Structure 1
């Protein structure tokens, strides 16, 4: 490449812009160096950002698997087989339900304070329930590989307390009475009845086997904050109307009945105008003496009973539906991740924890994997179309970690909606290709400039030869 001075000495004046072209070429080279430095810095920044994103994704997908008490059990054996049996689990739930119903029967028909004085039917039932729950506790306790780990399971500790109170009440107290010769109740009767009522808390175990009920419970707990705000607003409205009606109703007969004080006024508005209990008599008594007070009551009914209570129902429905969607999504995601881990462990020939294109094809032939993908809304047939895009880059087959593979699979769900994040991901994927195209265009531009310069040199030589021929 000639310098601007060299080209200026040989470039004839008949070729305008020659010196300007070379100066611009030199300037472009300087700008190109600066752009290259900036691109290098940006590349390092992108590498750091990708590293952070990969760490976050790994933390999400590498979360500890959900807690299962079975992990603390023996790998094999009689006790584990019984404790993990679906028949045993379902039988326990049935007995818990029957015991809950029996507590109601015992409360209505058993008038004896002492079990030994009760009707034989009640004695047989109590002993049968105590035997079953004691045997169930023994089976679960013997299933633990390390008995100390039983204290790490909250449900087992809770059941241990219930079984202990049941054994003390059913067998311990009668044996103590027989041994000491005491008669009557040992300890306060209310305490013994309270311990008996604690057995109803076993119904909580049934919630674990019914995920839909757990979703409703979690939704109600999540909505508590919004419900408190709605009740707070309702209390403020009731307080304001209570003060107004207490003052405006002075001198009327219904004042002494419903609005003697602010507290009584709020109670009357809550019972009659919010819960709408005997609203007709309440309004008739006010209408007979004061139409302005009746109008105020009507406005309160419109605000409290119709607007606020319906708003409360709407808030509960919205929050419960949102929690249900989130819980179902999380449950399906955890399920498919666990199943895919098991399938990968079966097809991972080199045991490196990564997934190659061949291993991916093996996964696609596993019925369990295909069923898991269908459950989360991934089309296995359509996933095959993306296989080359996922595992082949620049014509070279690559391997990816399980976390990255699952992240890509979850992004392929048909229910996913395009978001700004997806557009940015698409832009980040297209950007390298655009940069490569720009680089190719720059190379073409440089070669064109070189050819142009060579043509200029040839033109100069031709003109020199032409002038020499003319002078001859």
Structure 2
């Protein structure tokens, strides 16, 4: 009886790490996302409301069993909660159980659609990608500060220069900041914002062109450069880890072969001695 929990843990761990089990959970997450999307059509939802309710219960049961298997298969069990992605999965599933049948319908719907994000925690390559993006946050501090300064200076300038001409875009600093955000995304900045100003301020193009050159083509590209650099470093580290694992596996195979040869030589020597 004492060995039963260990056997159960090993079975749960093996099942949780099984690629077929993981693929099944990914399929259930995607299918759940499709069902939630179908519920956004009122005519379809009202026609099959009981069916959608039953399907939702089935998904909750499947995801709950999955979390329990992963917790039982952890070594030790509380080790499951040391991983941030596991905590995210547990929060989503536990919230669905707590709020099921309650009055927090809007909150429950948001938590349900968040299950789609669980594909990140299931697929290791997506985890590495998100990890690389999070690793760029400290390096982006100076770039974000520079971009903030640029926005602030140009927002003050824009409010002073164009506040009386185009108050809907430059009437106050916070309105100008929103306009500059539209401009930095290059969304209708020429036809929608700049050209109406050219009639009264022919030099307005200089303001917009200089802001776009500094804001979009320099600062934003710095963000992209940092992200790409971190992604490359993450990929290089992953390849290095793979090479180390392959080297360790090769060393282990050589050691096993050496042990087999020594055992074979011992048997041959003992046979010839007879």
Is the TM value for this pair above 0.5? yes
Interval of TM-score (by shorter of Structure 1 and Structure 2)? 0.7 to 0.9
Question: Cα 1:220–1:205, aligned 2, differ >3 Å: closer, same or farther?
Answer: closer
Pairing of 1:7-406 with structure 2 (within 5 A): 74=7, 82-109=15-42, 119-137=49-67, 139-140=69-70, 143=73, 149-154=76-81, 159-167=89-97, 173=101, 186-208=102-124, 211=125, 213-249=126-162, 253-254=165-166, 256-272=167-183, 274-281=184-191, 282-333=193-244, 335-340=245-250, 342-343=252-253, 346-347=256-257, 349=259
| Structure 1 position 122, deviation (Å) | 1.0
SS at match of 1:290: coil
| 8 A Cα contact 1:100 1:203, kept in partner | no
Residues 77 and 189 of structure 1: CA distance in aligned 2, closer, same or farther (over 3 Å): closer
Aligned-partner Cα distance in 2 for 1:289–1:128: 65
**CA drift at 1:288:** 0.8
Q: Deviations over 1:241-294 (max 9, x none)?
A: 2223333346x523x33322333333322212x112222232212211112333
Q: Distance in 1 between matches of 2:12 and 2:170?
A: 68
Change (3 A) 1:88 1:198: same
Query: CA separation in 1, counterparts of 2:212 and 2:156?
Result: 16
> Hey, what does 1:372 align to over in structure 2?
none
Greater share of residues in helix: 2
C-alpha distance in 2 between matches for 1:261 and 1:96: 46
CA contact (8 A) 1:151 1:157 kept: no
Unmatched runs of 5 consecutive residues or more in structure 1: 1-71, 174-185, 351-357, 360-472
Shift of 1:328: 2.3
Count of aligned residue pairs for this structure pair: 253
Q: TM-score, normalised by structure 2?
A: 0.73
Taking only aligned residues, the RMSD between alpha carbons, in angstroms, comes to 3.6
Q: Following TM superposition, by how much is the alpha carbon of 1:203 offset from its aligned partner in structure 2, in angstroms?
A: 2.2
CA contact (8 A) 1:216 1:324 kept: no
Q: Using the alignment, how far apart are the partners of 2:160 and 2:73 within structure 1?
A: 71
* Higher RCO (CA 8 Å, separation ≥ 6 residues): 2
In 2: Cα distance, 1:207 partner to 1:327 partner: 15
Tell me how far 1:307 sits from its aligned partner.
2.3
| CA distance in 1: counterparts of 2:14 and 2:156, whole angstroms | 68
Distance (Å, rounded) in 1 between the aligned partners of 2:98 and 2:9: 33
Q: Mind listing any 5+ residue stretches in structure 2 that lack a counterpart?
A: 263-274
